[in-house]
A and B are shown apart, each in its own frame.
Chain A
Amino acid sequence: MEKACLKWTMLGSLALILAGCATYPDPATTRQIAEKMVSEDFTAPAPALLKRLVQDRSQQICSKIGDAKLTQEEADEVVRLARASIQYPASGKLVGDWKVGNTLAHDGAGDRIQGGRLEKRKENGGLCQNCHALAPGEINVGNVGPSLTGYGLQRGNSEAIAKLTYGRIYNAWADSPCSNMPRVGATRHLTPEQITHMVAYLLDPASPINKR
């Protein structure tokens, strides 16, 4: 009887110790568990589309958890990769047609996957309206990113500004590593030509974004 009692006490303690051991996994284990989930939990109409889930080096660096900050080395690496990624249009002309840019800025469609189908279009929308205030008085605009109202009025439309603006759209991380702004050129969401139209939309004095 005593023996049995002792046995149960020991088993009980063991269970308590085991229960007490349950705790947060370390970062490497967490990463392993979560990455396994990502590799198993999504479907796509073509295997190549599953690659969208695979992170590039910059995305890995820019996925800091909570309030964790980028180290200087990490920020430098993201900037370096971003600068190297920027490609200019074959024509060399960085300022396109602001009217096309206006349409693009208000187009949030393209390349989404639903019901086993890819939303295939000739070109993707620019997505700007989702996050940025655009022309004065436009109400249906987001505020995740800074306002772009009067962008050209504040900066002029010199060649240097056009180049800076093109780069910021193509790969925003060249100036602000890991910012929320998607690298729409570098990730191939938009083509270089499309970006030149956005540049025109932002800089041209006749563009609605620069109306007072």
Chain B
Amino acid sequence: MPTTRGGIAAILLACLAVGGAAPALAQSDDPLGVGRKMLAEDNPGELWIEQGRTLFHQKRGPRNASLEQCDFGLGPGKLDGASVRLPRYFPDTDKVQDLESRLLSCMVQLQGFNRDDIVKRAISPGGSRGSDVEALALYITSRSNGMKMNVSLGHQKEYDMFKAGEYLFYRRSGQTDFACVQCHGEANKRIRLQDLVHMTDAKGAQEVVSTWPAYRGAHFVVRTMQWRLYDCFWQMRLPELKYASDTSIALTTFLHYQGNGAVIKVPGFKR
């Protein structure tokens, strides 16, 4: 079912991309917007939420434990509103963690999974059934749907993470001379036909932080913020960003803090 819907979505986008649908839509002020709206109204990513819920409560891993004792910052098993506060500092790991790195900690500590094994599978192949981490991240974030992003800086490590993220957002390197800001520093910009989020603007930052994890039409799977960042570095011709690395958490802290006030609505729908 998700494949069929995703397929239709991909065909629609492909039509827009080659301009086949352009004449019919040309009368609209924003011809691309029409297609995007059509896609957003019927989101196959919803199906991953149930999968995530099941995985969360299931006894799994070498320790045969569920994730019900996992603490995302509001106490063990308290998921409602947890992700609006992430990333945040966790005393038990003495680290600032985003949703996915925290999930990883719990899967290792509570369930006894091997960290490298989870990381290897965290980002699923396109067209697959998706990874456990993708479904779990979506389910946990969905438990904050309708709530406002409310990341706070209080602990020194949170301040450090935020500032490192800001630094990295503007740090140019590699053969394309790109930092994040080259593509995400202005309004109404596109790479080919794809809209670029204006992340140095509060509204743009709010748009990005409130819509991940998202169903990615071109991949037929749910993608997470960790994937989004990884893929940007890939396109920038830089080496591969390690899953749940501090660099990824720093950038997420920078973006999420700026996106405070955004109302969570996941899964988002992306091209």
Contact = CB atoms under 8 A, between A and B. Distances in A.
A and B interact: yes
Interface of A: 19, 21-25, 29-31, 33-34, 37-38, 40-44, 49-50, 52-55, 59, 62-66, 111-114, 116, 127, 129-131, 139-144, 180-184, 187-189
Contacts, number: 153
21 contacts: A24-B162, A25-B163, A30-B163, A30-B166, A30-B167, A34-B163, A43-B242, A52-B238, A53-B238, A54-B173, A59-B173, A65-B170, A66-B200, A113-B234, A114-B234, A114-B240, A139-B19, A142-B191, A143-B188, A187-B177, A189-B237
B245 A143 contact: no
- Which 10 A-B pairs rank lowest in CB-CB distance, beginning with the nearest? A41-B245, A42-B239, A187-B175, A44-B239, A41-B247, A34-B164, A34-B167, A22-B156, A139-B19, A189-B175
Contacts of A62: 172, 177
Nearest to A50: B239
A106 to B, nearest CB: 10
What DSSP secondary structure best describes chain B's contact surface? Answer: mixed
B226 to A, nearest CB: 12
Given A49-B239, A182-B178, A143 B189 contact: yes
Contacts of B239: 42-44, 49-50, 52-53, 113
Interface string B189-202: 11111001000100
A111 B177 CA distance: 14
B51 to A, nearest CB: 24
B189 A142 contact: yes
B177 A182 contact: yes
Contacts of B64: none
Contacts of B190: 142-144
Given A25-B159, A113-B234, A42 B242 contact: yes
B174 interface: yes
A54 B172 CA distance: 9
A58 B178 CA distance: 12
A113 B172 contact: no
Nearest to B155: A22
B235 interface: yes
A182 B183 CA distance: 12
B241 interface: yes
Given A25-B159, A187-B174, A187-B175, A112 B237 contact: yes
